[in-house]
């Protein structure tokens, strides 16, 4: 396959992905839900933080982290940088609870896989870093308890 055909195939795959996972909202990832495992870095684990499972929900041009909602983090707008067969996204969420700070998320979606990094900057100056990876959820698949 020559380079032009390869690029065309990648663009068709990206367009198909965007239509498949973004048909219900205003952002290309809208209408999708992702089950992800967040793993603390070595430094964050040394502060007593543990791995946890989360659900990322993209809708109406915003992203929600269900695990972070209990800390006051609300849905935030996300931005996209599309590459052939890959969507890179990022967002910054702030907490509505006093002292919870902000969470910066960045990730990439390729077909039904998602991965990235989340950094939680607490108001007291503590910084917690996690990597995450997971896959697209089927309809309203429940998270494991």
Q: Does 144 fall in a domain? A: no
Q: Check which CATH number belongs to the domain holding 106 and give it.
A: 2.40.128
Tell me, what's the pLDDT at 81? 86
On the question of pLDDT at 84 being above 80, the answer is no
Note down the domain range covering 16.
Answer: 3-136
Beta bridge partners of 46: none
Q: Does 10 fall in a domain? A: yes
- pLDDT winner (highest mean) among 59-63, 95-99, 136-140: 59-63
Q: How far apart, in whole angstroms, are the C-alpha atoms of residue 126 and residue 120?
A: 8
Tell me, what's the pLDDT at 141? 52
Region for 86 from its dihedrals, namely left if φ exceeds 0, alpha if ψ lies in -120 to 50, beta otherwise:
beta
Which one-letter DSSP state was computed for residue 27?
A: S
Q: Does 143 fall in a domain? A: no
Instruction: Give Cα 39 distance to the centre of its chain.
Output: 14
Q: For the chain, what is the domain count?
A: 1
Helices (H), 1-145: 3-22, 42-46, 66-69
């Amino acid at each position: 396959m020559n380079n032009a055909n390869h690029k065309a195939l990648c663009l068709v795959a990206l367009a198909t992905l965007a239509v498949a996972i973004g048909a219900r909202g205003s952002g290309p990832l809208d209408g999708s839900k992702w089950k992800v495992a967040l793993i603390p870095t070595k430094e964050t684990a040394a502060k007593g933080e543990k791995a946890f499972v989360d659900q990322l929900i993209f809708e109406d041009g915003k992203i929600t982290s269900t695990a972070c909602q209990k800390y006051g983090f609300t849905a935030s707008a996300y931005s996209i940088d599309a590459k052939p067969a890959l969507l890179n996204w990022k967002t910054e969420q702030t907490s509505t609870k006093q002292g919870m700070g902000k969470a910066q998320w960045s990730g990439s979606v390729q077909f039904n896989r998602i991965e990235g990094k989340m950094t939680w900057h607490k108001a007291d100056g503590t910084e917690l870093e996690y990597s995450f990876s997971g896959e697209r959820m089927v309809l309203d698949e429940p998270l494991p308890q």
